[in-house]
Amino acid sequence: MKIISYNVNGIRSAMNKGFVEWLKDTNPDIIGLQEVKAEESQIEANIFKDLGYELLWYPAQKKGYSGVAIFTKVKPKSVKYGMGLSKYDDEGRVLQADFDGFSFISSYFPSGTTGDVRQSFKYKFLDDVFGYMQDLSRENKKIILSGDYNICHKPIDIHNPISNKNSSGFLPEERAWMDKFTDSGFVDSFRLFNNDPHHYTWWSYRFNCRAKNLGWRIDYHMTTKELQNKLKSSVILPNIIHSDHCPIQLEIEV
C-alpha cells in the first residue's frame, strides 16, 4: 500500500499547478493533506472522486486557513474528526481514518513563527497531542501519524542548524518534544531507510532556497513500533512542486 502525506499550502493553488495530474499518475492508495485552506464545496471534488477516492475533509472554521483532509481508495472502517479539544479542532488539525490493520492520521501541527502567542499555542498543542497519542496507542497498537509537524528533529534535518538554533521549528524545547515522542514508541520512518543529510520537505520561497536546497525536514510519517516490520520504504519527493512543501511517501505491507 502506498501512502502519501503532503502539505499543499492551499489545495486550490496546488490544483492550478498540476496537483490533480500528479495524483493521477502517482496513484497512492491514501493521501493525507495539510493546509488545504478550503472547504470541500470550494473545489471540484468530483475530479478526485472520479479517480476513485473517497474524500474526508476537516477544514478550519476560519476561511482560507489550515485544515486537513484524507483522500482514500480504501474504504475506512471509521473516521474521527479532531482530538476533542475545540481550540485545535476549530483549526482543523487532526483527522483519523481507521482501516484493517492500522489507523492513519493526517495532522497539521501549529507554527510558532508569527510570535510568542502562537509559539505558546504550539507548545500547548505538543503537550496535548502527546497525551492524545499515548492514549490512542494504548487502544490501537498500529498507528501512522503523518503530516507537517513544523519541527526539525535533529541538525541533519535542517540546512543550517547553527544560524537556526533560535528559530521556531528548531528550538531546543521543540526538539526535546520530538525526542520524547520517538522515545514513547513512535518511529521516524524516513530515518529507518535513509540517514544521509540534505533531505528536506520544506523550503522558504525567499532567496531561491529550493533551487539551492536550503530546506527543513518538517514533514513525517511517524509509525508505532508495532508497524515497523511492515514498512517497505519511506521517501521524500523533492522534485514535486505544487507547494513550498513536497510530498513524502510511505510504502507498507498490509
CA distance 109 to 219: 10
| 153: Cβ contacts below 8 Å, ≥ 6 apart | 175, 178, 179, 182, 188, 217
Q: Which residues are catalytic?
A: 148
Range of the domain at 73: 2-252
Q: How confident is the model at residue 135 (pLDDT cuts 50, 70, 90)?
A: very high
pLDDT tens digits along 160-213:
999 999 999 999 999 999 999 999 999 999 999 999 999 999 999 999 999 999
pLDDT tens digits along 31-74:
999 999 999 999 999 999 999 999 999 999 999 999 999 999 99
Residue pair 147/93 in contact by the 8 Å Cβ criterion: no
Using the structure block, give the residue that is written with the C-alpha cell 476560519: 62
Q: How confident is the model at residue 254 (pLDDT cuts 50, 70, 90)?
A: confident
Dihedral sign computed on CA atoms, order 173, 224, 215, 21: negative
Please provide the DSSP assignment of 136-154 as one string. Answer: HHHH-S-EEEEEE-----S
Q: Is the pLDDT confidence value at 215 over 90? A: yes
Residue pair 34/7 in contact by the 8 Å Cβ criterion: yes
What integer best gives the mean pLDDT of the chain?
A: 98
Rounded average pLDDT over 66-93: 98
Rounded average pLDDT over 147-162: 98
CATH of the domain at 76: 3.60.10.10
| Residue 30 Ramachandran class (φ > 0 left, ψ -120 to 50 alpha, else beta) | beta
Residue 117 pLDDT = 98
Total domain count, the chain? 1
